Chain A
Amino acid sequence: AQKITQTQPGMFVQEKEAVTLDCTYDTSDPSYGLFWYKQPSSGEMIFLIYQGSYDQQNATEGRYSLNFQKARKSANLVISASQLGDSAMYFCAMRVIQGAQKLVFGQGTRLTINP
């Protein structure tokens, strides 16, 4: 079975600072994808970044980067130069390649950016 653990229920960061949101995962499948989604207060789920289990390099998308440490089974999201609009709930998720191909989500981290 797959499991995602996000150990930070809430985080408070000053605007323009970098922030790291932690995510660890557990799976016995060798092939999987790791995703981060953002959920603002309006409720929609916004895809941020993806990392494949066989990718050699860490994924980056604008201000978002994923610090992928396969041996430690961690996939932390790094947001550089945080903005007020980054305040939201952030979910780490894993999707296995075979079978149900479902997304397994962590419980989320609520990020608040202070001016």
Chain B
Amino acid sequence: EAQVTQNPRYLITVTGKKLTVTCSQNMNHEYMSWYRQDPGLGLRQIYYSMNVEVTDKGDVPEGYKVSRKEKRNFPLILESPSPNQTSLYFCASSLAGGHYEQYFGPGTRLTVT
């Protein structure tokens, strides 16, 4: 089954404790992206990757890191989480090009206390 998986689905952590949210897709997509969703703000892009070893900042990259060592994986790293990073996070993937839909993972609900 074609899918994007994320782990964990739910996470409660404390300020400053490094964490990684994994993302993996099995559709051989070149393009991958991370979004965060906050009430009243819709979804905003954090980082994206056009292909292996190619990553770039989205609209809200502060406090986040990413890597793309393999085509299928695109982890999101919060090196020192803060309460304002409490949010619902989505990983997405697609073929390269604006005409293609992005497939979303199930989401990771993160709470930072």
Contacts and interface: CB of A to CB of B under 8 A. Distances in A.
Nearest to B57: A100
Interface in B69-104: 88, 90, 92, 96-104
Contacts of B92: 45, 103
Contacts of B100: 33
Nearest to A6: B42
Contact of B40 (A4, A33, A100, A107): A107
Q: Is the interface of B mostly helix, strand, loop or mixed?
A: strand
B2 interface: no
Contact of A107 (B33, B35, B42, B99): B42
Interface of B: 31, 33, 35, 40-45, 48, 50, 56, 58-59, 88, 90, 92, 96-104, 106-107, 109
Interface of A: 4, 31-33, 35, 37, 43-45, 47, 50, 52, 91, 93, 95-98, 100-103, 105-108
